[in-house]
Structure 1
C-alpha cells in the first residue's frame, strides 16, 4: 500500500498544480463524474462541464500552494482518503493581490477502470488561521 499511497499523494499534488496552471483539462481528467466538494462556501456536486465553468469563470484563482502533513488511508482496495494541510495563496481573477489561507483538506479517491479519480474534496479553514 505504500506505493499506492505515494501514487495518490503525487496525484493530489498534480491536481493542485493543475489549479495553479489553470489547466482545466488536466484537472477534469482526475475528477470522477459527478464529484463533490465541501468548503466554507457550501456543499456542491458537479460534472466535468460544471467544474470547467467554475475553473474558468470563478472569481478566485489559486496562485500557489504548499501541502504538508499528508496522510493516506485505504478503507478498501478501491478507495483512498487523503488528509493534509495546505497553505494556499488566492487572488481575485485578474488581480495581483494575494490572500494566504491555512486550510485542512481531504480528498476521497476511488479506483475506476484501473485508474484513480477524485470523487470528493473538502476544505476547512484552520482554527488558528480563522479571522
Structure 2
C-alpha cells in the first residue's frame, strides 16, 4: 500500500485544532491531537503531553489567533514538519507573535503532534 505524504492543508487543519482547543479551553480536544510521547519546547522549558494540556483545565489559554507564513517540510511519507508564524493573545492580554515548528506523524492511521517548538519573535 502506498502512503501519501501529508499536505500543507492537512497538517495546518490539524494544527488549527490545537489552537481551537486553546481558545475553547478544551483539554480533551488538545490531548486527542498530541502523541503520548509529545515533547514541547518553549521559552519556559520542556513540556510533555500532560504539561501541554494542563493549562486548559482552568479554561481558555488563548483569546484569539492568526496563522500565516505556513510552510511544510516532508520528513518522511508519514511525517511532516509544519512551520508558521502565529499571532495570538492570552485572555485579557496583548497580541504576541511567535514562530512555531510542529512535527506531525501518522501512526496507526491517525496524525498526532509529537513535537512542537515555539520561538518568540524578536
- Shorter chain as denominator, the TM-score bin is 0.7 to 0.9
The reply to whether residue 81 of structure 1 matches residue 81 of structure 2 is yes
> What is the TM-score when the length of structure 1 is the normalising length?
0.81
The aligned length equals: 119
| Greater RCO structure (CA 8 Å; 6+ sep) | 2
Task: Encode CA deviations 1:18-52: one digit per residue, 9 max, x unaligned.
Answer: 110111111111100121111011122x24x4444
Paired with 1:100 and 1:50, the residues of 2 have a C-alpha distance of: 23
The reply to whether residue 53 of structure 1 matches residue 48 of structure 2 is no
Indicate the SS of the match to 2:7: helix
Indicate the SS of the match to 2:90: strand
Correspondences of 1:1-131 after superposition (within 5 Å): 4-44=7-47, 46-47=48-49, 49-57=50-58, 61-91=61-91, 97-127=92-122
CA RMSD of aligned residues (A): 2.0
Structure 1: which 5+ runs fail to align? 92-96
User: What's the CA shift for 1:3?
Assistant: 6.5
User: What's the CA shift for 1:6?
Assistant: 1.2
User: What's the CA shift for 1:4?
Assistant: 2.5
CA 1:105–1:7 in structure 2 vs 1: closer, same or farther (change >3 Å)? same
Paired with 2:12 and 2:40, the residues of 1 have a C-alpha distance of: 18
Paired with 1:29 and 1:70, the residues of 2 have a C-alpha distance of: 23
Task: Encode CA deviations 1:61-113: one digit per residue, 9 max, x unaligned.
Answer: 2111000011111110011100000001013xxxxx31221101110000100
Instruction: Pick the structure with more strand per residue.
Output: 1
Partner of 1:94: none
